[in-house]
Structure 1
Amino acid sequence: MRLVANTIFCLAFLFDNVVSQDDAGKDLGDGDLKIIGGQYASKGEFPYTVALKSHARCGGTLVKLDAIITAASCFYNGDQKVEASTVTVIAGALSIADPKETGYQESKLARFKTHEKYTGKGSGHDIAIGALEKAFVQSANVKTAVYASSKPEGLKDALYTIIEEDTSCVGLGWGNTGAFVSDEVSGGAESLKMVEMRVLPQRECRTAPGMEANEVCIATRRSADKGITDGDAGTTFACQGKFFGLNKGPSKYKIDQKEYEGAIVTVIWPYVNYFGLELNVATSYLHEHTFNLVLFSFIFVTTINRVIH
């Protein structure tokens, strides 16, 4: 009986931690600061997503501990390229305004390379790679991106399957949503946000001329939801925990007489060889809340079996 009592206590503790995480993946529906149809990201949920701070705010994806992929437009101030040393990359934190946050790491860029065919904001091939002055230290909150396949064609096939099955994906960013009071004052949100998105069939997508194979369109699930904004350029676009591309810029789509907010996404597979990327296909990161649920189930089943037998 003591075993059962102790187990019930442990299970109650675990369950409370699973369902009562403060602000973790929390829908902000009717709070003072409201993201319509969106959520705050949870700690460690997207350990490969980074923020870039320079003349403008952008996002990026950690492809190696010392390298990021982001939008080429993030390295231009008007028509002029910025100096790499003026760009700070932040990893491991939800708030880019709090260096004291647990897991916060930052590094300056040592150099970057934009795609040779990128000609300016709004053009195709809006993608770049950046090398850090110092590598980040891998932790629970800082990890490199994982992919759906070890081959570029496999990534393409995986995303087409997601389109066919209408699987939900996630758009991320620190940009201005227009629904966040503090965003309107500061020009951007300080904490990482996420919104559920779907990848549109090509017939519903307006990509740059000649970029049909390199870009896809994403849109919110509900017409009232807020989508990707200018401050989210370069930020990770992920499906089922895997890195598929990066946000190029906001867009709007009219589907069945309803208007949806969304974005153009530069997909990663056409650029794997160009940038020499290594496609890590390790298991997607198990978020701590999912881990708690798994642990809860394991302890429960194990205890029941011991009591029965």
Structure 2
Amino acid sequence: MKLLGIYLMKVLGIYLMKVLGKPDDGAGMELMKLLGIYLMKVLGKPDDGLFLTFVLGQYRCGVDGFWEDLNTWNKTLPDCVPDCGTRIVRGLQRIIGGKVATTGEHPWQVLLKYNEHQGGGALLYDNWIITAAHVVHNFEDLSNVIIKMGLLRVKDSAFIQGWPETIIVHEGYKYGNNFDNDIALIKLRNKVPISENVLGICLPGKEEMFQISHHEHSNHIGLVSGWGVTEKGFGSRTLRSVEVNIIDHSQCKAKYAAKSTSNVQYRVTENMICAGYEGGGRDACSGDSGGPLVFFNAQSKKWFLGGIVSWGLDCAVAGQYGVYTKVDNYLDWIENTIQKY
């Protein structure tokens, strides 16, 4: 019945435009709205959203960053923001310590390469990438920076490429000191085409529902993805993901403090979150740095960025955890940086 509603809507819409003119003449649009509301009451709301966009006169965000009227293709409203945080979930093959990703499962995932170095990142909107400062702090020649999106395998020939316009490393990050303020943004020269396979991750809000902690009532299980080193000791050729538990901050801080020596201090700051398992076995690792740690918001039904893969000692070792940049501590910095550039 819903498919019939979509078909009837198309026929009625075309007929009305031929008789009354395009919907923006007022009378045609009002009549189309009434017919749309009637069909929704009788047939139910179609699943694909086409019913609402065509009959009720809604718009979609075009690839070029402007609102697009689906009836006339006119650009009617400027500066729209692409959707974020939705993904395709299919059956996955289980592997040790994680899962092999499938097409569209992590559409925000970005692969960064610079000479022999490799890291990860996440797409924001359609022309920004968020990553770790330690991944990009020495990216001096932007022409040598390779940015790939929409791929599963490192050597896939089909992907969406980004070209960096500028790289902004957080001013509080000091390489070689510790990993505090380990966050950076890359502005792209091009706006990438948004699709099921390439889509930005949502940023968290400041509301309580976005709080991340080890408590079960908050966001306590995250999903981390990347092409980093696997349990075999080599970088993965295929994108992988794994669920990790958020670890009590004081517990993680104490664990790393106990491993510190007079020469090396492992300091977990308030700008970091820890994740992993007490028994080990699941973790991010070398090559995953800069990649996203994301969480599902049950209210919006979308995924948001909670952490950025930052540092750790040995990977997936019992009693030792991965450390991530705490994104919600940097929301103002992200917003101000994007507005500035």
The corresponding residue for 2:112 is 52
Q: Which residue of structure 2 aligns with residue 239 of structure 1?
A: 295
Counterpart amino acid of 1:26? Q
Question: How far off its partner does 1:278 sit?
Answer: 10
What RMSD over aligned residues (CA atoms) do the two structures have, in Å?
Answer: 3.0
Q: State the secondary structure of the residue aligned to 2:225.
A: strand
Q: Does 1:265 align with 2:324?
A: yes
Give the partner amino acid of 2:100. Answer: Y
How far apart are the structure 2 equivalents of 1:148 and 1:119? 25
Once the 2 structures are TM-superposed, how far is the Cα of residue 106 of structure 1 from its aligned partner?
Answer: 1.0
Does residue 201 (structure 1) correspond to residue 252 (structure 2)? The answer is no
- CA shift for structure 1 position 227: 1.7
1:42 & 1:277 partners in 2: Cα distance? 34
The letter of the residue matching 1:176 is V
Alignment correspondent of 1:110:
165
Between structure 1 and structure 2, the one with the greater Rg is 2
Match of 1:73 in 2: 134
Which protein, 1 or 2, shows the higher relative CO under an 8 Å CA cutoff with sep ≥ 6? 1
How far apart, in 2, do the equivalents of 1:88 and 1:41 lie? 21
Structure 1 residue matching 2:318: 3-state secondary structure = strand
The residue identity in structure 2 corresponding to 1:244 is G
Residue 221 of structure 2 corresponds to residue 168 of structure 1: yes
Q: TM-score, normalised to structure 1's length?
A: 0.66
CA separation of 1:168/1:133 partners in 2, compared to 1, >3 Å: closer, same or farther?
same
1:91 aligns with 2:128: no
Give the match for residue 143 of structure 1.
199
* CA distance in structure 1 between the aligned counterparts of 2:216 and 2:326, rounded to whole angstroms: 13
The SS at the match of 1:126 is coil
TM-score (norm 2): 0.61
CA deviation digits over 1:203-239, x for unaligned, max 9?
Answer: 212378886321011113743x142112111000012
Q: 1:25 aligns with which of 61, 85, 92?
A: 92
Q: Which stretches in structure 1 are left out of the alignment for 5+ residues?
A: 1-22, 29-35, 280-309
Tell me by how many angstroms 1:189 deviates.
1.5
State the secondary structure of the residue aligned to 1:232.
coil
Question: In the aligned structure 2, how far is the partner of 1:111 from the partner of 1:86?
Answer: 13
User: Identity percentage over the alignment?
Assistant: 22
Note if contact 2:283-2:315 (Cα within 8 Å) is conserved in structure 1: no
5+ residue gaps in structure 2?
A: 1-89, 257-264, 297-302
